[in-house]
Structure 1
Amino acid sequence: MMNTPWFTVQRMDEYTFAISEYGHWEKVHSFLLLGRQKAALIDTGLGIANIRDVTSKLTTLPVSVLTTHVHTDHIGGHGLFSDIHVHEGDSNWLIHGIQGLLIERIRADLVRDLSLPLPPGFDVSAYTPYCGKPAGLLCDGQIIDLGGRKLEVFHTPGHSPGHVCFFEEASGYLFTGDLLYDETPVYAFYPSTSPSDLVRSWQRIAEIPGVTRIYGSHNTLGLDPELLGEVQRAVKVLREKNLVSFGTGIHYFNGFSVRF
């Protein structure tokens, strides 16, 4: 484990690292995966500290940013990289900004309930979410080859229209972004979210064979694959009880919850 004043870096295996921001109430995780020819950085965190300073200490490989979805806590460091990829469903937000969220709300959420001091020089009043044109678009079923290491893209809308998960068959690692994590509710009540899409996406990832570890983008780092069985049960319960719609509240299951 390598610590900086803001980031905690944990080695998941010889070629995979979690870069975590535990000082923020959302406990955000980004993930660096090293191949032989290039590296993939799944999301870039909050943008409070310079995540590229961390990745440059971990690898000299060219880094491609793979975006699970375009919310501010996942694209904060995008401006530090040039090779950025996103699903078409979220590309308009990446280029023009997230619709429906005021900058005052974004800035307030960025610095509330901190357990670590902000890095020197960070000015929340000047913080503006990244906007820019992606280098490439991700699509469902796409295989990303890092050189001796491959990731499959799963389009999993619900939390956002262009939300994606990444699965590495060789290791069994499933990176679920904001589709699935523990401790705090998975959210599907922001603008442009969809409870029905989210539940369908849950069903889809629950059927992926060979998952050995689930890596969500918040809270506990690494969840047991048995959780996917509970996801299947959650899908069944929510549908049978007609709860898959906005305004039905928070629904609790064994190991996770969801807010519609």
Structure 2
Amino acid sequence: MYKEIYEIVPKVLAKRKRITSKSMTKIYDDEIWFDDYFSLKYIDKTTIAIGEPRYWQRNYSYLILGDKQALMFDAGSGEKNIQKVVRNLTNLPIIHMISHYHYDHIGSTEKFKKIYLAKNQVKLQKVLVNNTIIPKNTLGFLEKKRSPKIQFNKIIRNKEFINLGNRNLQVLYSPGHNSESISLYDLVRKQLFIGDYLMKGIMPLIKSTIVQTSYVEFRWATKNLISNVQPGTKMYASHPFELAKDLNNKQYIGGVEFCDQLELSYKDLMDLNLFLNQHIKENILPKKIKVNDNIKIIF
């Protein structure tokens, strides 16, 4: 009976089964199948988006390689073990970080031995013995996903750098979608990995105690990113979908569709910042407003 309940969520929100067959799953032209579940999208030779295109939320996690270490940003839905993909791609020691604690980003987190958390990801959680956290507010109840035990090795502050060996990543707090969200920035390559901070299409920023969505925090996060990233930066999101009706789909029946791009641009970030400066407060009743051709905000 419970299975029937949590199977409803993907059908209502995305008009998809939880897991779609490979033959019915579309991927990008520059994306390849790794196996019958995971896909690979090479941003460059040492930056790889590991996708779960068959999963209804189409998560992408990012493997970022340096000369001495690699960093795995997010760990997918947990439907399959993403660590096996990582180990097939590199023999480097792995640091694992998460963009936030929602269940579709921490599914295989327990599989990693070296885990860093940002300070804002520890602040609201209860730290148990041996630096262990069993995160709350993961939304795992939506798909009957338990909260993992996360044993972390180090706490990273806002704007602090992680040296992977000839490649530095800066940790930037980016709350809004969730109070514990972070992004990672590679200044040299101008790559910003943003988790669920932003994605193409509609971003709901309606205050929610369950999701911990906050328009006020989102405004702060945008300023934090703007003050640290450089023109020409590309942003890499975790979910490549948008509302079908915004694709002018005449057969729209609700839900979301696969969008034409995973990346967003520095211009998108600047347009968003301008919009937020013009709309200081939340609306009493939620409204959808277009920021530009790529972004719409409900707030």
Question: CA deviation digits over 1:79-133, x for unaligned, max 9?
Answer: 11011112232232781332384x54233xxxxxxxxxxxxxxxxxxx4232222
Shift of 1:69: 1.1
Partners of 1:63 and 1:138 in 2: CA distance: 16
State how 1:194-213 maps to structure 2 within 5 Å: 194-207=214-227, 208-213=229-234
Label 1:151 to 1:100 Cα distance change in 2 as closer, same or farther (>3 A): closer
- Conserved? CA contact 1:189–1:259, under 8 Å: no
Structure 2 residue aligned with 1:45: 76
What TM-score, normalized by structure 1, do the two folds share? 0.83
Say which SS state the counterpart of residue 71 (structure 2) adopts: strand
Structure 1 residue aligned with 2:265: 224
- Conserved? CA contact 1:188–1:198, under 8 Å: no
1:105 paired with 2:133, answer no
Label 1:190 to 1:20 Cα distance change in 2 as closer, same or farther (>3 A): farther
One-letter code aligned to 1:18: A
Shift of 1:74: 0.9
State how 1:174-213 maps to structure 2 within 5 Å: 174-187=192-205, 189-191=207-209, 192-207=212-227, 208-213=229-234
Structure 2 residue aligned with 1:89: 120
After alignment, is 127-136 or 52-61 more displaced? Answer: 127-136
Q: Residue 36 of structure 1 is aligned with which of 48, 62, 67?
A: 67
Shift of 1:143: 0.6
Structure 2 residue aligned with 1:147: 165
Label 1:61 to 1:232 Cα distance change in 2 as closer, same or farther (>3 A): same
Aligned residues: 237
Structure 1 residue aligned with 2:297: 258
Question: CA deviation digits over 1:163-192, x for unaligned, max 9?
Answer: 111110110001111111112425454423
- Conserved? CA contact 1:15–1:35, under 8 Å: yes
Partners of 2:297 and 2:90 in 1: CA distance: 36
Structure 1 residue aligned with 2:275: 234
One-letter code aligned to 1:156: S
Say which SS state the counterpart of residue 199 (structure 2) adopts: coil
After alignment, is 38-47 or 153-162 more displaced? Answer: 153-162
One-letter code aligned to 2:91: T
- Conserved? CA contact 1:153–1:166, under 8 Å: yes
Label 1:26 to 1:237 Cα distance change in 2 as closer, same or farther (>3 A): farther
One-letter code aligned to 2:265: D
CA RMSD, 1 decimal: 2.2
Partners of 1:78 and 1:246 in 2: CA distance: 38
Q: Percent identity?
A: 24
After alignment, is 212-221 or 91-100 more displaced? Answer: 91-100
Label 1:246 to 1:190 Cα distance change in 2 as closer, same or farther (>3 A): farther
- Conserved? CA contact 2:103–2:138, under 8 Å: no
- Conserved? CA contact 1:188–1:258, under 8 Å: no
Question: Which residues of structure 1 form unaligned runs of 5+?
Answer: 108-126
Question: Which residues of structure 2 form unaligned runs of 5+?
Answer: 1-30, 127-131, 241-260
What TM-score, normalized by structure 2, do the two folds share? 0.73
- Conserved? CA contact 2:50–2:61, under 8 Å: yes
Partners of 2:143 and 2:296 in 1: CA distance: 23
Q: Residue 91 of structure 2 is aligned with which of 51, 56, 60?
A: 60
Label 1:183 to 1:96 Cα distance change in 2 as closer, same or farther (>3 A): same
| Greater C-alpha Rg | 2
Partners of 1:250 and 1:134 in 2: CA distance: 39
- Conserved? CA contact 1:179–1:202, under 8 Å: no
Say which SS state the counterpart of residue 67 (structure 2) adopts: coil
Label 1:184 to 1:28 Cα distance change in 2 as closer, same or farther (>3 A): farther
Q: Residue 161 of structure 1 is aligned with which of 179, 201, 211?
A: 179
One-letter code aligned to 1:130: P
One-letter code aligned to 2:108: G
Structure 2 residue aligned with 1:124: none
